[in-house]
């Protein structure tokens, strides 16, 4: 058992005030010195990897190996921004009677609000550029998975930050989270979570025209063309649909497969789904742990039941695994559905569970139209052997990240974010740093001969 103090509006306000007091100290440090602190933070996170990863598996459910990778990835993000922060250079422009200097300066105090599916990694995407830019922050980890995120911030704070530069407040989104968004102290809101919550955050931030970044829900399509490398496509789809029990914003949610290869692809996906080892995430060799909560598992079951009622065919999974070892924990078998169509919730809503519905297509144009038939636009994937098809499909897909013959659209150096209802703004790369900077133009009159 572990516990955290539950904060509310007052605790959030106190934390914001601490961050405000620390801002002049941290923002006026040379970027080189801030970089050294971030490097030390990365070192401490790596040193405490096992302790943070253990907490992450115990509170979230993912296998220990995945938790360790998540913690190491967060350390890498800190290292990346230790360097990127040094590249915040200005511009100089010469006018006929003046000179213009353009600066990018830290916005001020940032509120960092994160979800439970990658509580450490997603927080690092905010903490690292925020600090590298010279901002201070108050973070609010997810209410049901606060431990690993808190230990991550503790490691960052131990690296030599001025007192009050890094803060954590625990508590419900509706009180502690809302105060972080509404308070006049926070100048920037970086939020990752559900689209519905993002809308509420955006509306509250509008009252003070705050700078916001929103990383919201997804409903990602995966297109398998007739000329695709089928074993690679099937392995890739299985991995991205089932890992972390499908509780990933860029998870594969809908598979569109060319008619002529549908049977072969489906057979391979089904056998991969059935071969994955489910169990306690603390045990070695386990590939899929339990789902995060009973609510998440119920929603997944409802989506599967809805699809079956509407004519889908159950090809794998669809229920809890049997056996004593699965009696505690929200386990669910990776599920493959055939004959899916767009009347089904699983094809339209974000299931956030390990379900891979398959629909056949006749032409690549049809596949792109089906892929875009959604209010979301976070990630989309295509597998094909043709460069021409790859480019045509990639340019036609409405999403912030397109994976061509690869099942991840995440690269620390590249922008990550959503189109349509999947978000606003970008994280990672130089775009992630810009999100914490304001532009200033200094115009200097020059004496004319
Ligand atoms: P959620 O929206 O329920 O909660 C996210 C965070 O917001 C939590 O810390 C919560 O306490 C807080 N919150 C809730 N109401 C708030 C309010 N009114 N004001 C301020 N803060 C508030 O999301 P979740 O269930 O924790 O996470 C799952 C969702 O996150 C999924 O929809 C998933 O797609 C999305 N997600 C998106 C990305 C991305 O990068 N686009 C990444 C991971 C997860």
Per-residue pLDDT tens listing for the chain (449 residues): 788 999 999 999 999 999 999 999 999 999 999 999 999 999 999 999 999 999 999 999 999 999 999 999 999 999 999 999 999 999 999 998 999 999 999 999 999 999 999 999 999 999 999 999 999 999 999 999 999 999 999 999 999 999 999 999 999 999 999 999 999 999 999 999 999 999 999 999 999 999 999 999 999 999 999 999 999 999 999 999 999 999 999 999 999 999 999 999 999 999 999 999 999 999 999 999 999 999 999 999 999 999 999 999 999 999 999 999 999 999 999 999 999 999 999 999 999 999 999 999 999 999 999 999 999 999 999 999 999 999 999 999 999 999 999 999 999 999 999 999 999 999 999 999 999 999 999 999 997 65
- 423 CB under 6 A from ligand 1? yes
Asked if 344 contacts 310 with a C-beta cutoff of 8 angstroms, the reply is yes
- 169 CB under 6 A from ligand 1? no
Provide the pLDDT for residue 1. Answer: 73
Name the H helices within 31-116: 31-47, 49-60, 64-84
Q: How deeply is 314 buried, as exposed, middle or buried, from its count of CB atoms within 10 A (0-12, 13-18, 19+)?
A: middle
Substitution candidate for ligand 1 out of 147, 197, 299, 419 with most atoms within 8 A of CB: 197
pTM given for the model: 0.97
**What is the Cβ-side half-sphere exposure of residue 247, based on CA atoms within 13 angstroms?**
25
Residue of 215, 349, 350, 427 marked catalytic: 215
Catalytic status, residue 130: no
> Atom 19, ligand 1: which residue's CA is nearest?
178
Provide the pLDDT for residue 447. Answer: 74
Provide the pLDDT for residue 424. Answer: 98
Provide the pLDDT for residue 322. Answer: 95
Substitution candidate for ligand 1 out of 8, 12, 115 with most atoms within 8 A of CB: 115
Provide the pLDDT for residue 3. Answer: 85
What one-character DSSP code corresponds to residue 337?
Answer: E
Asked if 400 contacts 379 with a C-beta cutoff of 8 angstroms, the reply is yes
Instruction: Spell out a b/e string for 11-29, using b for 16 or more CB atoms within 10 Å of the CB, else e.
Output: bbbebbbbbbebbeebbeb
What is the C-alpha to C-alpha distance for residues 51 and 148, in angstroms, rounded to an integer?
A: 9
What is the C-alpha to C-alpha distance for residues 356 and 370, in angstroms, rounded to an integer?
A: 16
The H-or-E segment that residue 252 falls in is: strand 252-258
What is the C-alpha to C-alpha distance for residues 291 and 257, in angstroms, rounded to an integer?
A: 28
Counting from 1 in the atom list of ligand 1, the atom nearest the Cα of 196 is 2
Asked if 242 contacts 279 with a C-beta cutoff of 8 angstroms, the reply is no
Question: Largest Cα–Cα distance of the chain, in whole Å?
Answer: 90
Tell me the torsion sign for CA atoms 29, 30, 35, 40.
negative
Provide the pLDDT for residue 176. Answer: 97
Tell me the three state secondary structure of residue 45: helix
C-alpha 198 to ligand 1 mean position (Å): 7
Q: At what angle do helices 31-47 and 147-157 cross, to 10 degrees?
A: 130
- 249 CB under 6 A from ligand 1? yes
Provide the pLDDT for residue 449. Answer: 56
Q: Which residues pair with 86 in a beta bridge?
A: none
Catalytic status, residue 225: no
């Amino acid at each position: 058992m572990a516990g955290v103090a539950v904060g509310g509006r007052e605790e959030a306000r106190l934390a914001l005030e601490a961050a405000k007091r620390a801002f002049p100290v941290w923002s006026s440090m040379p970027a080189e010195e801030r970089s050294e602190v971030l490097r030390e933070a990365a070192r401490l996170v790596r040193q405490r990897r096992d302790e943070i990863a253990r907490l992450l598996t115990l509170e979230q459910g993912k296998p220990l190996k995945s938790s360790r990778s998540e913690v190491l990835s967060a350390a890498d993000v800190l290292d990346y921004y230790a360097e990127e922060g040094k590249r915040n250079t200005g511009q100089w422009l010469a006018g006929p009677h003046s000179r213009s200097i353009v600066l990018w300066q830290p916005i001020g105090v940032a509120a960092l609000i994160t979800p439970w599916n990658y509580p450490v990694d997603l927080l690092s995407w905010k903490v690292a550029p925020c600090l590298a830019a010279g901002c201070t922050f108050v973070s609010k980890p997810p209410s049901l998975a606060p431990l690993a995120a808190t230990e991550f911030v503790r490691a960052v704070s131990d690296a030599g930050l001025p007192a009050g530069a890094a803060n954590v407040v625990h508590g419900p989104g509706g009180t502690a989270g809302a105060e972080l968004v509404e308070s006049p102290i926070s100048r920037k809101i970086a939020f990752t979570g559900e689209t519905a919550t993002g809308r509420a955050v955006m509306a509250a931030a509008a009252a003070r025209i705050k700078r916001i970044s929103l990383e919201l829900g997804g409903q990602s399509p995966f297109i398998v063309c007739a000329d695709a490398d089928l074993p690679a496509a099937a392995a890739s789809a299985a991995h991205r649909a089932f890992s972390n029990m499908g509780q990933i914003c860029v998870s594969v949610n809908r598979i569109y497969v060319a008619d002529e290869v549908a049977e072969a692809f489906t057979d391979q996906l089904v056998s991969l789904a059935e071969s994955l080892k489910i169990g306690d995430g603390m045990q070695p060799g386990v590939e899929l742990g339990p789902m995060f909560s009973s609510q998440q598992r119920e929603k997944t079951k409802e989506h599967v039941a809805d699809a079956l009622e509407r004519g889908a065919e159950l090809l794998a999974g669809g229920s809890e695994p049997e056996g004593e070892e699965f009696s505690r924990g929200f386990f669910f078998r990776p599920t493959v559905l055939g004959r899916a169509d767009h009347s089904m919730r699983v094809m339209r809503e974000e299931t956030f569970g390990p379900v891979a519905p398959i629909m056949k297509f006749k032409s690549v144009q049809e596949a792109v139209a089906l892929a875009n038939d959604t209010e979301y636009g976070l990630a989309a994937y295509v597998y094909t052997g043709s460069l021409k098809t790859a480019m045509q499909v990639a340019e036609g897909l409405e999403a912030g990240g397109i994976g061509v013959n690869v099942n991840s659209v995440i690269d620390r150096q590249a922008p990550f974010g959503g189109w349509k209802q999947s978000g606003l703004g970008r994280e990672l790369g130089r775009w992630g740093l810009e999100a914490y900077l304001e532009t200033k133009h200094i115009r200097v009159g020059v004496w004319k001969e």
